[in-house]
Structure formats: C-alpha cells, structure tokens
Amino acid sequence: MPKEKSDKQEQGAGRQKNVPVGEWIVAVVGLILVIGSISLTLYRALTEESTPPVISITVDSILPAENGFLVRFSVQNTGNQTAADLNIEGVLKNGEEIAETSAMTLTYAPAHSMREGGLFFTKNPNELDLQIRSTGYSVP
Amino acid sequence: MSSPSKNVKSEKSDARRFFVDLSRAFGGAILFSFPLLMTMEMWRLAFYMDGLRLALFTLLTIPLLIGLSYYDGFEQTNTVKDDVRGAFIAYAVGFAASTLVLILFGVITPGMSANEIIGKISIQAVAAGLGAMLTQSLLVIDDETEKNAEKRKRSASYGGQLFLMVVGAMFLSLSVAPTEEMVLISYQMTYWHTAALAGVTLLMKYGFVYAAKFQGHHKVHSPDESFLSLFLRFTVVGYAIVLLISFYILWTFGSIDGLSFAEKLKATIVLGFPAAIGAAASRLIL
C-alpha cells in the first residue's frame, strides 16, 4: 500500500481501514449480477418478437379420485407472450358423442414456461376418448 | 501497522467486520423488501413487464445505491471507489436475499424459464438492494458510523437533500406501487378528490419541512428564511420530484399503460401520497 494513501486514510477515517478481499469478491458478484440481468432482459427485449402464446397440453397421469378420476396435465407455453386466465377444457368422447366435459382456468401461463393442473371427471378417462385443449386467454 | 502481527490481527478483524456488515445488510434487505416479496403482483410482473423497462429500472438502481452509500451507507466510505463497491455489494446482497426468500416461498420452481426466474429476482433485488444499503439507519449500529452519516446528512447540500427525497419517495412508494389498488383507488376518485388529495399532500409535505426547520435539521436554510422561499424550494420542488418518481414507478410496472393522460395523472397523484410522506420524512427514516 502506498504510504501517501494510508496517511490520507488515517486522517480521513480516524481509523485505518483495509478492504477485505471478501468485500471485493461480493462487489464483483454484484457487478456481474447487474450486468448479467440487464443484458439478459435487454437481449430478450430486443431480439424476441412478440408472438402470441403457443399452448401445448400433455396428460401426465390419470388417477382415481373421490367420486371419479383426476387427469393431471402440464401446460407448456412456447410462445413469447404470457397468457393470463388461460381456459382449459377437457372433453371425454364416446365416439362422436360427448360423454362429459370439465374445465379449469390457469391464472398464468408465462412465456417459455411450464405450469401444471388437473381436471376431475366422473367417468373413467381410460375407457373413453380424452381431449384437453385451451379455449382462450387474456393478455396480462 | 508497524508490527506485522498487528497488521494480521487488523486484517482479521476487518474481515469479521465485513461479515457482520454483510449479515446486517442481508437482514436489512429482507426487512425492507418483505412486503414486496409477499406481493403476488411482483411475482407476476416478471413475465409481463417490458424487458427494456426492467433493464432501465436495474440500471438506475446503481447510481441511486452509489448516492445512498455516500450519504448513508452500511459502512463508512471515504472515496467514490468505496461508494461504488458498496453499491454493488448492496445489490449482490439484495439479489441473494430475494433469491432465498422467493425459493422459500415456492415462487421460484423448476419448470420456469431462466428469463422468468431472473426477472422475478431482479425486480425484487432493486428494493432489497435499497434495504441492504439502508440497513445502517434501520438497524442502528455503532456510534461512529452513525455520527459519520449524520454529519454527512446534515451537511448535505440542497442537491443532496433533493437526492434523499428521491430515495425516501421510492422507499415508501415501492412497497405499494405494484398493487392493483393504486389504479383502483384512482378509478374511485373524482377529479375533485384528486385535487383535494394533491392539496393535502402538499400541506403535509410542508408540515414536515416546517417541523424540521424548528428542530434545526436543515443547515441549508437559515432560521429566518421566508415562508415563500421554504415552500418553493422544498415543498413544491419536492412534490414535483415525488410526482416524477411516482409516474416513473407506475410506468415501470406497467400499471398505467393504456390509460388516458388524465387517468395517468390521477394514479400518479395517488401514489404520490405515500411517496410524498417518504420524501418529507426522508430525514427521519433514512
């Protein structure tokens, strides 16, 4: 440490202060976090087109439930826009005839993210033709 | 400094002091930001907020933290370099604290995109970073740091006082700004209500300045400064700052997008209410 500087510090602070290495490390981590999060958001903001939500729903499992059956599914939004109040409808078909419908609303399906949900049916989805699709959403 | 053993000892105690400072800053980050960490609008903002606005918000935090470190940081600072380092430490602590709490609350889960996770954390890190920096006044510590900051606060120039108003306004308004109530309240109000609220806010702000004058908090204005001068220099300018901050925060969170100008102004005046209290009381809370 240069003598001049330490003199100045002693005068200025009343007590001499060494900056611990840890302090620098945390500061550099902070700098990286700032640059990292700014550049990630900027990159996304500048490169991504605002394409509408693209919703795909896959059935994960069909389980017995109280008074019927539970169909658990995951919703994947591969679009660049978030869908709010995403309505999801499940239909059980017996040939052309609709045997039962159930519906739920997913509060949010964020862009490029996955959410999970479930639908209850009284009839056995394993024995019928199960179709799950999203029927509509609002822009948050 | 003269003997090597003393040097090692002081280095060790410096490191321990830094660890204590860091833990305290962590506590301050959570103390200040927990209302936001527990607000669902904040979790959701991450996926519908405009990326450019979020980037700007994070970017503007840094000069704010540097300035705050100068006036009122969590450790003693003597140089600009110290303040810059302090600002980034505060941001890192705020980021870490937000991450921890959001994971504990189950807000961040697997299956979320990196963009969503980073967005959720970085929007909280602003408030938490402010909290980490404000620790020194929130959790009172050793007299030396306190005296040092107090001296700076008192000798703060007019510009310095305005800066503290900005921080005070952000401090109080941030925790309510993202909620739907801000816009909802403005819908409930007529233009008469709005005008009255602006009047009451101004009066309240003047009351704080007036009270501070008698306590001798401000060195910038002399005791015999006229009513008009005091009113114009602190109350009116302060309120203008408050409205700008309120508008900026509402715009950042996208709360007033698509509203007419008059409706935007109403919401700004509503948020200006807590912001003005924060600005006026900045000498008390910061």
Q: Which domain holds residue B199?
A: 156-286
Query: Is the CB of A112 less than 8 angstroms away from the CB of B116?
Result: yes
Interface confidence (ipTM) of the complex: 0.73
By the 10 Å C-beta count (0-12 exposed, 13-18 middle, 19+ buried), A97 is classed as exposed
Report the domain count for chain B. Answer: 2
Co-location of B141 and B162 in the same domain: no
Mutation choice for A interface testing from B85, B109, B148, B255 by most A CBs within 10 A: B85
Among B134, B154, B174, the domain-final residue is B154
Question: For chain A, first and last CA: distance in Å?
Answer: 56
Cα separation, B24 vs B26, in Å, equals 5
Confidence grade of residue B74 (pLDDT, cut at 50, 70, 90): low
pLDDT tens-digit series, residues B95-140? 999 999 999 999 998 878 888 899 999 999 999 999 998 876 555 4
| Mean pLDDT of all residues in B177-183 | 89
Residue B63 Cα, gap to closest chain A Cα (Å): 12
Cα separation, A109 vs A98, in Å, equals 27
Co-location of B143 and B161 in the same domain: no
Among B154, B184, B206, the domain-final residue is B154
Co-location of B250 and B273 in the same domain: yes
Could you tell me the two tokens for A34? Answer: 């700032």
Co-location of B44 and B111 in the same domain: yes
pLDDT tens-digit series, residues B129-171? 999 988 765 554 555 555 666 656 555 678 888 888 999 999 8
Confidence grade of residue B5 (pLDDT, cut at 50, 70, 90): low
- A17 and chain B: CB distance < 8 Å anywhere? yes
CATH number attached to the domain at A55-138:
2.60.40.1620
Co-location of B123 and B52 in the same domain: yes
Residue B7 has pLDDT above 70, yes or no: no
Query: Is the CB of A14 less than 8 angstroms away from the CB of B144?
Result: yes
Rg (CA), chain B: 20
Query: Is the CB of B113 less than 8 angstroms away from the CB of A112?
Result: yes
Q: Which residue of B has its CA nearest to A112?
A: B113
* A51: helix, strand or coil: coil
Cα separation, A115 vs A113, in Å, equals 7
Residue A6 has pLDDT above 70, yes or no: no
Query: Is the CB of B115 less than 8 angstroms away from the CB of A41?
Result: yes
Among B154, B172, B207, the domain-final residue is B154
Which pLDDT score is estimated for B68?
86
Cα separation, A53 vs A84, in Å, equals 10
From chain B, pick out residues whose CB is under 8 angstroms from the CB of A30. 87-93, 95
What are the percentages of helix, strand and coil residues in chain B, rounded to 5? 80, 0, 20
Co-location of B127 and B190 in the same domain: no
Q: How many other CB atoms are found less than 10 A from the CB of residue B212?
A: 17
Co-location of B144 and B168 in the same domain: no
Co-location of B3 and B89 in the same domain: yes
Q: Are B41 and A105 in contact (CB under 8 A)?
A: no
Could you tell me the two tokens for A129? Answer: 């033709």
Query: Is the CB of A22 less than 8 angstroms away from the CB of B18?
Result: yes
**Continuous segment of H or E residues that includes residue B188:** helix B181-188
